Structure 1
Amino acid sequence: MKKYLFNIKYIVLGTFVALASCVSDDLADVGDLEDFTGPTPFYSVTDVTSSEFDCNDVELWAKYEFNFQAGSNLAVNGTQYQWAVTPFDGVTLINKDLPILQQSIEAELATVVALQDEIDKIEFKIPCETNPAKVDALEAEVAALQGQLDAAVANLSDETLQNVANLEAQIAALPPATLEDQELIFSFPGPGDYTVALTVTDNLGKSDTTEKIITVNQAVPTIPVPEIAEASFEDNSLFDGTGDGRDSWRVPSNDDWSPKGGGTTVIQINTDTNPVDAPNLPDGVQAAKFPSDGARVAYQEIEVTPGATYVLTYFSAFEETTFGEMTVSILTPNTSSFAEAQLEANIIASRTDTNVGRVDNVFKKHAITFDAGENESVIIFATNSGVEARLDAFDITVKQ
């Protein structure tokens, strides 16, 4: 029986070999099937629009640029790409390698670019600054940075200058982008809807087309990050190098804002005496201290952009002798007293933390998210009760 099975095995194997021998690339039309698979085109798009506005939110310029990259299901057959944009008037094409080479130049000149960016940021603020003392301080800062910039340019090595020259030569030699490029950048003339079609053709002449509507949105100003003065309660941290860490946190009126109805409300300062490599505080060497009697408060009005959403973060710490709590609130700018600060109508957002489960004098980070609504400014207000408490390292970001 085993002998017969062995023979059958080899008969089947021989049959497969015989069939395979009939398939030969040397014999036309024998064993070959025509490839009916045509291309299935697709493309990805990335918005790389850039713009600049002045401090009054007036648009200075906008570049509505989108990076397009074509693809298809064909991995072997050669393909040709053909883009079409409707409407095409005013659309310009940019070689995909141009931004890469420009970024390479910036990398070579990293120190110079960083200093120039810092100067640009400060000069952006000056025209809209109404405080003469701040203008003077900003202009002095620009002058100091300009000196550093001049020195940085003068110290550029011959190697760096040659690398930059080589990159600039590569930019000059870039071929113009065409509608047949697999990847390119479209620069649109302005906001609107554009139909972008891609036709892919393989080396057998088969083709297919896909298209999408690309919506180019109007450029809008970047929402500025509000400034919190003396955010970490450090000495000499005001714009002009002065301040005792508390100056920006004083209430407009002690009598109106005192939780006790009168007396001083100025926060105290707690100084970290630990070495630099083992600090107790989240930032710097000073924190705001609120005695256990609850008589001291922190108050600061900051500018915000109407309609924007913000995240305010800060750190708190407590003593553990008895129950205590700390409340940080965001108030409407029309709030004019401690009593009004307790009214729900004046509270945009609020957070109360207690010392339950906390470790004595160990700081913990908190966050408050709030909407500016129609307000152009809001008040950060902090008050405590029960035990001595501390606050430190306020920060604010725009929620995207």
Structure 2
Amino acid sequence: MKKYLFNLKYIVLGAFVSLTACVSDELANVGDLQDFTGPTPFYNTTDVSSSEFNCEKEELWAKYEINFQAGSNLSVNGIYYKWEVSPAEGVTLINKELPILEQLIDAQLAEVVALENEIAKLEFKIPCETNPAKLTVLNDQIDALEVKLAAAEANVSPAIQQNVSNLESQIAELAPATLEDRELIFSFPGPGEYTVGLTVTDNLGKSNYTEKTITITQAVPTIPIPEIGEPGFDDGTLFDGTGDGRDSWRAPSTSAWGGVFQINTKSELGILPDGYQAAKFPSDGSRVGYQEIEVTPGATYVLTYFTEFQTNTFGDVTVSIVSTNATTLAEAKLEANIIASRTDTNVGRVADVFKKHAITFEAGTNENVIILMTNSGVESRLDAFAISVKQ
């Protein structure tokens, strides 16, 4: 009985193999199910726009460019793409490889490009600088950087020059971007709403269409980071190489605000959060730190700094952002004049150990604000002020 069952098993298996062999991929419409599924198109975008403004926030130029990359749910069939944009007037197409090749050239000439950027940053400041002493320093810095730039250009090796030449040749030989490219860059003539559509067709002739509304917004100047003078309280850190670490922090009137803080000095780097010196406030609370900085109305900022306390008795430190309407220390403590404030105590603190803090504040309609530092009860130190624009 087992023998007959064994033979029957192989007879069935042989019949299955024979039936399978009758199905051939070489015969049209034999063995394949008809494909009723058409492509489902989609696309992704990356904003690669750029612009430049002068120090008075006037637009010098703007390029409204968006990288478009098409996709589909089909991964094996041949896929064909067709873009369309409306309104099309003034819209130009850019080969997606162009910015990549330009970045490769900059990478080859990294030192030269870095020096050119540093010069550009200084030249940006000159038209709006009204302080003759600062203008002199800026021009001297530019002259020194131009000497370094000339040396860097002269030191570009023949191999680097050849690499740059090869990349420039690749740029010259780039094929123009077309509406049939899977990935390309649209350059729009200006702000507004544009409808960008994509048709995807597979190799069976099936196609589908999708579209999105792309909103191009007006270029706006980058919010400048405010400049804090002597933020780490070290000697010689003013724009002209002078300063005793606290010259930027003196109040306009000692009688109205109090005397400037003292300086605590260390002989080695690494003991303080920044440099060799920190601001020191005696326990009697008689000293202040006062500095007025420029801000951009409507912007939000984050101010950071470090504190340290002696622990022999209770004490605190307060850092405030104050309206310039305040003309005395008493007025600076009025709620109407306080934009933001933070008070830290020495509870739970360890002597000679600094801790970092942050204050977030909105400039509102203010073009200038005051950074005010006060303390009470115990000797305290502050160091390493920094400010950033909150995005």
Distance 1:379 1:4 in 2: 101
Name the counterpart of 2:301: 310
Aligned-pair CA distance for 1:150: 0.7
Runs of 4+ aligned residues of structure 1 deviating over 2 Å after TM superposition are 1-19, 25-30
Name the counterpart of 1:386: 377
Distance 1:146 1:130 in 2: 23
Name the counterpart of 1:362: 353
Name the counterpart of 2:123: 123
Q: 1:352 aligns with which of 343, 348, 351?
A: 343
Aligned-pair CA distance for 1:349: 0.5
Distance 2:65 2:358 in 1: 36
Relative to structure 1, is the Cα distance of residues 28 and 251 closer, same or farther in structure 2, using a 3 angstrom cutoff?
Answer: closer
Secondary structure (helix, strand or coil) at the match of 1:17 reads helix
Contact 1:22 1:30 in 2 (8 A): no
Distance 1:193 1:106 in 2: 33
1:178-257 paired onto structure 2 within 5 Å = 178-257=178-257
Name the counterpart of 1:148: 148
Name the counterpart of 2:40: 40
Name the counterpart of 1:328: 319
| TM-score w.r.t. length of structure 1 | 0.95
Secondary structure (helix, strand or coil) at the match of 1:289 reads strand
Aligned-pair CA distance for 1:272: 1.3
Secondary structure (helix, strand or coil) at the match of 2:260 reads coil
Secondary structure (helix, strand or coil) at the match of 2:264 reads strand
Distance 2:39 2:166 in 1: 39
Distance 1:247 1:215 in 2: 48
Give the gaps of 5 or more residues in structure 2: none
How many residues get paired?
391
Relative to structure 1, is the Cα distance of residues 26 and 157 closer, same or farther in structure 2, using a 3 angstrom cutoff?
Answer: closer
Aligned-pair CA distance for 1:18: 3.8
Distance 2:8 2:382 in 1: 89
Aligned-pair CA distance for 1:16: 3.2
Distance 1:32 1:299 in 2: 82
Distance 1:50 1:233 in 2: 37
Name the counterpart of 1:19: 19
For each residue in 1:326-367, what CA deviation from the matched residue of structure 2 results, as whole angstroms up to 9, or x when unmatched? 000000111111111111111100001111111101111100
TM-align CA RMSD: 1.4
For each residue in 1:254-298, what CA deviation from the matched residue of structure 2 results, as whole angstroms up to 9, or x when unmatched? 11113xxxxxx1111111123x4xx21111111101011111110
Distance 1:54 1:5 in 2: 92
Relative to structure 1, is the Cα distance of residues 7 and 323 closer, same or farther in structure 2, using a 3 angstrom cutoff?
Answer: farther
How many percent identity over aligned positions? 71
The AA in structure 1 aligned to 2:131 is: N
1:262-273 paired onto structure 2 within 5 Å = 265-273=259-267
Distance 2:141 2:379 in 1: 39
Aligned-pair CA distance for 1:77: 1.1
Name the counterpart of 1:163: 163
For each residue in 1:199-232, what CA deviation from the matched residue of structure 2 results, as whole angstroms up to 9, or x when unmatched? 1111111111110000000000100000000000
Secondary structure (helix, strand or coil) at the match of 1:151 reads helix
Q: 2:288 aligns with which of 297, 313, 318?
A: 297
Secondary structure (helix, strand or coil) at the match of 2:153 reads helix
Residue 286 (structure 1) aligned with residue 245 (structure 2): no
Give the gaps of 5 or more residues in structure 1: 259-264
Aligned-pair CA distance for 1:252: 0.8
Distance 1:44 1:218 in 2: 21
